Structures are given as structure tokens and as C-alpha cells.
Amino acid sequence: MGTVESQWKALQRQLTQLGRQARRARGVARKRMKRLERRTRVTVARALRSTEPQVRQALAEAERVGRGLRAGVRAGAAAYRASAAKPRSK
């Protein structure tokens, strides 16, 4: 019976060692995850800060082009109406 008890004690020691290793691995993984999240947050914030002015400028330019296009269409329509409105004399 002594061998069974010694094997049991050895298994218990191995289990406690594995538990310690698992706790340490969880802690290391948690640190790594926090670091990755922080880096990702910083990278996204930097990207937003650097691209926001360009996006605003592109939107302003698109608005200007749209206004010009609408003005051109309005002028063209008015010119067409003016030319078509002349009564024909016989």
C-alpha cells in the first residue's frame, strides 16, 4: 500500500505545480492582452487624428463640387428654357 500512497502524493505535487504554472500563464496572458489592447487603442487614436483633417478637407471639396454641379445644371436648364421659350413668327 505504500506505493499507492506515494504515487498519490506525487500526483498531488504535480497538480499543485501545474496549478501554479497555470496561474502564472494566466497572469502573463492577461498582461500581454492589456498591452495589445492599449497599443491598438493608441494606434487607432493616432490614425484618427492624422486622417480627420484629410477627411474634412475631402468633404468640403465634395460639397464645393456638388454646389458647382448644381449651379451648372440650373444655369443649363435656364438657358435651355430661355432658348426654347422664343415664339416662332410666321
Which is more confidently placed, 33 or 79? 33
Specify burial of residue 8 (Cβ count, 10 A radius: 0-12, 13-18, 19+). exposed
Q: What is the pLDDT of residue 57?
A: 95
Q: What is the pLDDT of residue 9?
A: 93
Tens-digit pLDDT profile for residues 49-69 = 999 999 999 999 999 999 999
Q: Tell me, rounded to whole angstroms, the distance of Cα 38 from its chain centroid.
A: 14
Q: pTM, whole model, 2 decimals?
A: 0.51
Cα angle 40-43-49, degrees, rounded to a multiple of 5: 140
Q: How far is CA 67 from CA 32, 57, 61, 73, 76, in A?
A: 51, 15, 10, 10, 14
Q: What is the mean pLDDT of the chain?
A: 91
